[in-house]
Structure formats: structure tokens, C-alpha cells
Amino acid sequence: MSHLVKMENGQSQTIQEMLGCIERYNPDHLKTLEAYIQDQAKNNTYDLEANLAVLKLYQFNPHMLNFEITYTILLKSLTNLPHTDFVMAKCLLLPQQMKDENIQTIIDLADILERADFTLFWQRAEVNRTMFRHISGFHDSIRKFVCHVVGITFQTIKKDLLKELLGGIEDSTLESWIKRNGWKHQGQGLVVIAMQDDKIKTKNITEKIEFENVGALMAQCL
């Protein structure tokens, strides 16, 4: 769905055009931006700049604060881990937002993800599942982040552990994630994440430099 912003001169701009000028701070555009955020949740799209602009408008106009939209912005930022979007969004929250119980729950979920305690995350996510029921693709976005962490942490991993880290998914779903990431089964319940030969190898290079080679240069510095 295309969102157009009505200007005072009667002309219309796209949200991206509006965000590139002073009009991004006009509270008259807030409702359009909030509708845009709801569309992001519904259609599994993401626009960090627009989302941060809404939080900034809440700072300037606290009487227009919408907690439901705030929840959606924060949860959508989690879907873009390992990028620091959540940190940027959190820095724009007002004191009354920080005191909100649901926002504290989302912050706790973010902390759990940051320390890669994925088993605990899925447990908490199940308890609070109604919070992000409206966000299309939320669980798979988190699983994508889990796979990123697994990919830089393990060479091999037990299949059962991988399934647990991905939220206790079915075997068929696990197979699709293994295939998507180019991983392979090794046997004995193990999944190969990266072969040893695929790892980047460091190499120390020692170059012998004779004094005669730099003597003239040193003389010029005296």
C-alpha cells in the first residue's frame, strides 16, 4: 500500500520524500506514518527511518503518544538484528514509555536475544505471544538472527540443540533452515555449520627491512 503525505500547499509527497525534508517534524503527518508502521507489521516490510521519525515526533508531541505503535516499532526493530536498530529506537523513548510494562517486556526480550539465550527467548515469546501476533514474519526473522549467531559460533552442532535454538520447530521446518543456510548433515545427529577449510585463516607476514633502505629517509627527518 502506498502512503502519500498531504502538504500544506495541497501537493502530495511520498513518505520517503517527506522524511528527507523539514516536514518530517510536522505532527500533522503522524497519523499517516502510524498507518505506514501498521502496514509494515502486516506485510513484513521494514523502514527504520520512518519508525524513528515517529518516535521523534512523540518526543516533540508527548500528548500524541501511541503505545501500540511504540510496541510495533520496537518489535519490528528486533526483526532486524544483529543491526543496532533496537538501541536507536530505545534511545528515543520518553520516560512514560520506559515505565510501560509491555515496553519493559520487549526490552527484556531484546536483552535475552543480545546475550544469545535463545532457549529462554522462545519460552518468554510463548508467554507473550499475543504481543507480536500482528507482526507478520516475526518468528522467522528471529530465527534468521539465530542462524546468524550459530553460523559464527559453531562448526558443528547437535541437531536437537539446533532445533531448540530455533524455537522447537518441526523436523521439516528445521530441514528448510539447514538448506537455506547451506549447512549439511554429518551423521550421528550432527549438523555441519562450517568446514575447517572454510574458515578464514590468518597469516603472519614478516618482511625484513635493511637499515640502508630507510637510512636516507631517516636522515631527511633529522
In a domain, 146, yes or no: no
Question: Is 183 part of a structural domain of the chain?
Answer: yes
Cis before 62 (ω within 30)? no
Do 43 and 122 share a domain, yes or no?
A: yes
In a domain, 27, yes or no: yes
177 and 96 together in one domain: no
- pLDDT per residue as tens, the chain (222 positions): 557 655 555 556 788 888 888 888 889 999 999 999 999 999 999 999 999 999 999 999 999 999 999 999 999 999 999 999 999 999 999 999 999 999 999 999 999 999 999 999 999 999 999 999 999 999 999 999 999 999 999 999 999 999 999 999 999 999 999 999 999 999 889 999 986 455 555 555 555 555 565 555 455 555
**Do 1 and 67 lie in a common domain?**
yes
> Do 1 and 58 fall within a single domain?
yes
In a domain, residue 204? The reply is no
Do 2 and 102 sit in the same domain of this protein? yes
| Containing structural domain, residue 193 | 154-198
Residue 208, Cβ density class (10 Å: 0-12 exposed, 13-18 middle, ≥19 buried): exposed
Residue 161 lies in a domain: yes
Do residues 93 and 164 share a domain?
no
Residues 6 and 116 in one domain: yes
- Number of domains forming the structure of the chain: 2
143 lies in some domain = no
62/116 same-domain check? yes
Is residue 206 in a domain? no
- Please indicate, yes or no, whether residues 158 and 116 belong to a single structural domain of this protein: no
Please tell me whether residues 81 and 190 are part of one structural domain.
no
Tens digit of each residue's pLDDT (9 = 90 or more) over 175-219: 999 999 999 999 889 999 986 455 555 555 555 555 565 555 455
Q: In terms of domains, do 97 and 185 share one?
A: no
- CATH number assigned to the domain comprising residue 32: 1.25.40.250
Indicate the angle between helix axes 48-60 and 67-78, nearest 10 degrees.
150
Residues 98 and 158 placed together within one structural domain of the fold: no
Let me know if residue 102 belongs to a domain. Answer: yes
